[in-house]
Structure 1
Amino acid sequence: MTVTTPKTVPDAPDRKRSLLSRLPIVHQVRQSMGIQRFMLVAGLVVTGLFILTALLAPVIAPYGYSQLRGDDGAFGSQQAPSADHLFGTTVGGYDVLSRTIWGAQTALSVVIVAVILSIFVGVFLGLVSGYFGGWLDRVLVVVCDAIYAFPTLLLAIVMSIAISGGQSSLWGGVFAAAISITVVFIPQYFRVIRAETVRIKSEAYVESAKVVGASNARIIFRHVLRNATRTLPLIFTLNASEAILTLAGLGFLGFGIEPTSAAEWGFDLNKAIVDVSSGVWWTALPPGIAIVLAVLGVTLVGESLNDLADPRLRGRRRVAAASGTVAATSVVPGGAQTAGPAGLGGLESGETFGDDGIETRP
Structure 2
Amino acid sequence: MTTITPSAAPAATPPKRSLWQRVPVVHQLRQSVGLQRGMLVTGLVLMAIFVLTAIFAPLLAPYKYNQLRADGVAFGAQQPPSAEHLLGTTVGGYDVFSRVIWGAQTAILVIVLAVVFSIFIGVFLGLVSGYFGGWPDRLLVVVCDAIYAFPSLLLAIVLSIVISGGRSSLWGGILAAALSITVVYIPQYFRVIRAETVRIKAEAYVESARVLGASNTRVMFRHVLRNATRSLPLLITLNSSEAVLTLAGLGFIGFGIEPTAAAEWGYDLNKAISDVTSGIWWTALFPGLAIVLTVLGITLVGESLNDLADPRLRGRRAVAKASGTVSETSVVPGGTLSAGPGGLAGLEDGESFDEHGIEVRP
* 1:224 and 2:224 correspond: yes
Alignment correspondent of 1:271: 271
Alignment correspondent of 2:112: 112
CA-CA distance at 1:208 after TM superposition: 1.7
For residues 275 and 135 of structure 2, the distance between their equivalents in structure 1, rounded to whole angstroms, comes to: 57
For residues 112 and 127 of structure 1, the distance between their equivalents in structure 2, rounded to whole angstroms, comes to: 22
For residues 322 and 206 of structure 2, the distance between their equivalents in structure 1, rounded to whole angstroms, comes to: 34
CA-CA distance at 1:76 after TM superposition: 1.1
For residues 226 and 212 of structure 1, the distance between their equivalents in structure 2, rounded to whole angstroms, comes to: 19
For residues 208 and 310 of structure 2, the distance between their equivalents in structure 1, rounded to whole angstroms, comes to: 30
Indicate if the aligned counterparts of 1:127 and 1:220 stay in contact, CA closer than 8 A.
yes
> Cα distance 1:91–1:193, how it changes in 2: closer, same or farther (>3 A)?
same
> Cα distance 1:313–1:320, how it changes in 2: closer, same or farther (>3 A)?
closer
Indicate if the aligned counterparts of 1:156 and 1:181 stay in contact, CA closer than 8 A.
yes
For residues 265 and 163 of structure 2, the distance between their equivalents in structure 1, rounded to whole angstroms, comes to: 21
- Identity percentage over the alignment? 73
> Cα distance 1:245–1:344, how it changes in 2: closer, same or farther (>3 A)?
closer
For residues 204 and 325 of structure 1, the distance between their equivalents in structure 2, rounded to whole angstroms, comes to: 41
Alignment correspondent of 1:60: 60
Alignment correspondent of 1:212: 212
Which secondary structure state, in structure 2, belongs to the residue aligned with residue 20 of structure 1?
coil
CA-CA distance at 1:324 after TM superposition: 4.9
* 1:311 and 2:336 correspond: no
For residues 327 and 88 of structure 1, the distance between their equivalents in structure 2, rounded to whole angstroms, comes to: 62
Indicate if the aligned counterparts of 1:152 and 1:180 stay in contact, CA closer than 8 A.
no
CA-CA distance at 1:279 after TM superposition: 1.4
Q: Which runs of 5+ in 1 are unaligned?
A: 8-13, 329-337, 352-362
* 1:76 and 2:95 correspond: no
* 1:51 and 2:55 correspond: no
For residues 282 and 325 of structure 1, the distance between their equivalents in structure 2, rounded to whole angstroms, comes to: 54
CA-CA distance at 1:149 after TM superposition: 0.6
Indicate if the aligned counterparts of 2:31 and 2:314 stay in contact, CA closer than 8 A.
no
> Cα distance 1:268–1:320, how it changes in 2: closer, same or farther (>3 A)?
same
CA-CA distance at 1:344 after TM superposition: 9.3
For residues 18 and 221 of structure 1, the distance between their equivalents in structure 2, rounded to whole angstroms, comes to: 27
For residues 326 and 92 of structure 2, the distance between their equivalents in structure 1, rounded to whole angstroms, comes to: 73
Alignment correspondent of 2:103: 103
CA-CA distance at 1:22 after TM superposition: 2.1
For residues 162 and 71 of structure 1, the distance between their equivalents in structure 2, rounded to whole angstroms, comes to: 41
For residues 337 and 155 of structure 2, the distance between their equivalents in structure 1, rounded to whole angstroms, comes to: 73
Indicate if the aligned counterparts of 2:156 and 2:184 stay in contact, CA closer than 8 A.
no
Alignment correspondent of 2:296: 296
For residues 257 and 232 of structure 1, the distance between their equivalents in structure 2, rounded to whole angstroms, comes to: 29
* 1:90 and 2:109 correspond: no
CA-CA distance at 1:327 after TM superposition: 8.8
Which secondary structure state, in structure 2, belongs to the residue aligned with residue 131 of structure 1?
helix
For residues 48 and 183 of structure 2, the distance between their equivalents in structure 1, rounded to whole angstroms, comes to: 27
* 1:321 and 2:320 correspond: yes
Alignment correspondent of 2:162: 162
* 1:132 and 2:145 correspond: no
Alignment correspondent of 2:234: 234
1:260-293 deviation line (CA, Å, top 9, x unaligned): 0000000000001111111111111110100000
For residues 323 and 202 of structure 1, the distance between their equivalents in structure 2, rounded to whole angstroms, comes to: 37
Q: Which moved more, 1:137-146 or 1:247-256?
A: 137-146
Q: 4+ residue stretches of structure 1 with deviation over 3 A?
A: 312-315, 322-328
Alignment correspondent of 1:194: 194
Which secondary structure state, in structure 2, belongs to the residue aligned with residue 298 of structure 1?
helix
- RMSD of the TM alignment (CA)? 2.8
Alignment correspondent of 1:28: 28
Indicate if the aligned counterparts of 1:251 and 1:266 stay in contact, CA closer than 8 A.
yes
Which secondary structure state, in structure 1, belongs to the residue aligned with residue 283 of structure 2?
coil
Q: Which moved more, 1:172-181 or 1:17-26?
A: 17-26
Indicate if the aligned counterparts of 2:251 and 2:270 stay in contact, CA closer than 8 A.
yes
Indicate if the aligned counterparts of 2:46 and 2:293 stay in contact, CA closer than 8 A.
yes
> TM-score, with normalisation over the residues of structure 1?
0.84
Q: Which runs of 5+ in 2 are unaligned?
A: 339-343, 349-362
CA-CA distance at 1:313 after TM superposition: 4.2
> Cα distance 1:206–1:70, how it changes in 2: closer, same or farther (>3 A)?
same
For residues 284 and 173 of structure 2, the distance between their equivalents in structure 1, rounded to whole angstroms, comes to: 22
For residues 230 and 326 of structure 1, the distance between their equivalents in structure 2, rounded to whole angstroms, comes to: 37
1:331-357 deviation line (CA, Å, top 9, x unaligned): xxxxxxx99xxx999xx66x9xxxxxx
For residues 262 and 72 of structure 1, the distance between their equivalents in structure 2, rounded to whole angstroms, comes to: 22
CA-CA distance at 1:72 after TM superposition: 5.1
For residues 292 and 312 of structure 1, the distance between their equivalents in structure 2, rounded to whole angstroms, comes to: 31
CA-CA distance at 1:99 after TM superposition: 0.5
